[in-house]
Amino acid sequence: MIGHASKNRALNQIAEIIIEDMGIKTTGDYVKFYINLEMQDSVSFLSFINNEKMVLKHKLENKTVDRGPILNGIKILEELAEELKKDGEPKVLERYNK
């Protein structure tokens, strides 16, 4: 069985690849990315969001990256976190996974 630390490392590596390409541009993209990882039974969506925000904030420290897409990603993740608190994970996942 994969430990929690190993899962977080794997998520960080995947997030780095996705963020490099900035293929994630919308709320729906983040939800689909999380669902496609097939880790819902072991990593909550809120944990995923918090991890993604941490990765993006670290990317901001790199002076050679385009900050616009990274800041947009952080904004989307913060909005998703608020929706999760208000509506709960099942409703948010259903809302954007259409």
Confidence at residue 24, expressed as pLDDT on a 0 to 100 scale: 78
pTM of the model: 0.74
What is the number of other CB atoms lying within 10 angstroms of the CB of residue 81?
A: 16
User: Which residues constitute the domain of residue 83?
Assistant: 4-96
Whether the per-residue pLDDT at 1 is higher than 50: the answer is no
| Local structure of residue 90 (DSSP, 8 states) | H
Residue 90, Cβ density class (10 Å: 0-12 exposed, 13-18 middle, ≥19 buried):
exposed
The encoded tokens of residue 88 equal 């709960």
pLDDT top residue among 58 and 4: 58
Mean pLDDT of 13-17: 56
